Amino acid sequence: MATQPARLQLPSGPSRHVYDVIVLGSQIGGALAAALLARRSHRVLLIEHDGTGTGYEHGGYVLPYTPSITPSLKAMPSVEEAFTELGLASTIQRNLRAHVPELQLILPRHRVDLHGDLTRRRAELGREFGETAEGLFSALSATTTQHEASDAFFKEQPNLPPDGMLETWKLNKKIRQHAGLEAHPRLSNNTPPGALLRGLQPFLTYLDKSSSPLALTRPLSQALQAPQRYPGGTEGLRELLVKRLSELGGDVLSRENSESFIVEELTFDGARFEGVKVLRSDIVYRASCLVAATDSGALRRLVTDRKRHRGLLEQLDASTTRSLLFAVNWVVPVEALPRGMGELLLIDTEDPELGAMLLQQHPARTAGGKEDEALRVLCAGVFIPASTRELGEEHLQKVAQRIDSHLDALMPFTQNQRVLHSVPYLDAGGVRGSRLMPHPLYSFEAEAFLGVTGLNQRTQAKNILLAGREVLPGLGLEGELLAGMRAARLVQEMLKKKNPLKG
């Protein structure tokens, strides 16, 4: 008689199995929503389920998945208020690191350091571009403050995207009161440096080929005003929020607890979300509502009764991934780097398929967490069609080689001194999150309000809310955080109607 395989034992999870809200997924909007709700005295369970963490291990080093830029909190005033509520604003500002110089442009016949100091910036532009420099300086200066024209609109925390006719009417009325939302980009594509700077925009948002003035100006303006690096990138910022959630009494199921804390399916009571069932466990964690902070494709796979929940699935299907940020990491000795090479570089590859390449220096960290001051990690990224992943490993290797060739041209003779060469999509295969996309670009079937919205936060399953990067993709990091803030407000509205522990 055949014997049944023994059920694998999970490390013990939370003793509580019923919550006010479950947040599912590792995107930063969900972490912010969870921390805010815990701060407001709700019972919160965060199940990370997916995600990349602050890096992946290869060759004894912890390496980033992609280059990333974090704007100053001052450039995102409503987000700053949320972090202040959590007592984290000063910690974040302390940990943000400016690049030196702030940004370096690499063009076929020019190398330009865009210093934060305006006098040095004007002199540098004049040295490289002569009589055309003043126009570029003026356009760049105007660009770095352009987000301020729309700050007042976002401080009002509008219902974006709107849900239903009444919210749409109110939103359109509010939009008419803020002329700054329609301000067009000051940087022109008519000059090589202007076109290259506009090429930074996809690295700052999650929206594919937007022509919206707001999507083209606000994230770029925020980043160019103070292009900074948070340790561990966006994932490092998210980990700070998760730590705060735990301090506030929230529960967390993460990969650090166990690789098995992965959600197997969502459970429903009729059309309403009821709970989540984790892999290889009989436990169902229940809650009055679910906040989903994972990609729509990952969420879709957890809905097993496709016929009953057709409306929810159709909403999730309205998102299409067009491109993804593909990166290569080099670990090199500091002494091998060319003199004058900056810490954040935007490179004109002159390759119509690769487009602009973003290169970021990081301190080299060993798997034990120590920094090696003699080494640097150079993380270079370009956008490629999402379908490229289906062409196989050999094709991805060729893409990596094309990036390598640009790095060779930028840093002659460095390749011979390279300590490690690593491609996240190929060398981080053992990490669950590597199957996801660290930085995708989406398109959507639905109307995009202000050219920045994607999926509605409210779903056909009335107690499932979305708080991922597909809600406000045209606003990049700020959009993720705004989606998390609004999700927290919507959960509070729901829980006023019914407390699951008193029903």
383-404 confidence digits (pLDDT tens): 999 999 888 889 999 999 999 9
How many CB atoms are located within 10 Å of the residue 256 CB?
12
Report pLDDT digits (tens) over 125-142.
Answer: 999 999 999 999 999 999
Same-domain status, 406 and 475? no
Residue 155 belongs to some domain of the structure:
no
Global pTM value: 0.93
Structure tokens of 294? 């994972």
Sign of the CA dihedral with 254 first, then 260, 261, and 264 last: positive
Mean pLDDT in the chain? 90
pLDDT value at residue 278? 87
- Please indicate whether residue 74 or residue 497 has the higher confidence score (pLDDT): 74
Domain count, the chain: 2
Same-domain status, 256 and 119? no
What confidence tier does 34 reach under pLDDT thresholds 50, 70, 90?
A: very high
Residue 153 belongs to some domain of the structure:
no
Last residue in a domain, options 435, 463, 478? 435
Same-domain status, 275 and 356? no
Name the nearest CA neighbour of 79 among 496, 472, 500. 472
CA atoms within 13 A on the CB side of 378: 30
Last residue in a domain, options 398, 416, 435? 435
Same-domain status, 411 and 354? yes
Same-domain status, 308 and 397? no
Which residues have a Cβ under 8 Å from the Cβ of 101 and sit 6 or more positions away? 113, 114, 115, 116, 342, 343
Same-domain status, 303 and 337? no
Specify the 3-state DSSP secondary structure of 432. Answer: helix
The whole domain housing 241 covers 18-54+234-318+445-497
Same-domain status, 451 and 386? no
- The percent of residues in the chain predicted with pLDDT above 70, rounded, is 93
Instruction: Extract the runs of DSSP E, i.e. beta strands, from 393-439.
Output: 420-422
Residue 384, strand partner residues: 324
H/E stretch holding 431 reads none
Residue 9 belongs to some domain of the structure:
no
Dihedral, CA of residue 134, residue 72, residue 104 and residue 336, to nearest 10? 160
Residue 157 belongs to some domain of the structure:
no
What confidence tier does 500 reach under pLDDT thresholds 50, 70, 90?
A: very low
pLDDT value at residue 446? 83
Residue 247 has pLDDT above 90, yes or no: yes
Residue 164 belongs to some domain of the structure:
no
Instruction: Work out the average pLDDT over 437-443.
Output: 92
d(CA 138, CA 141): 5
Residue 37 belongs to some domain of the structure:
yes
Residue 367 one-letter amino acid: A
Same-domain status, 34 and 87? no
Same-domain status, 339 and 468? no
Sequence-ordered alpha helix ranges (H) in 202-337: 213-225, 233-247, 296-300, 310-316
pLDDT value at residue 55? 86
Residue 7 has pLDDT above 70, yes or no: no
Identify the CATH number of the domain in which residue 483 sits.
Answer: 3.50.50.60
Same-domain status, 226 and 241? no
Same-domain status, 422 and 492? no
Residue 298 belongs to some domain of the structure:
yes
pLDDT value at residue 8? 37
Residue 501 has pLDDT above 50, yes or no: no
Residue 40 belongs to some domain of the structure:
yes
Cα separations in angstroms, 161 against 18, 366, 452: 30, 42, 9
Same-domain status, 123 and 217? yes
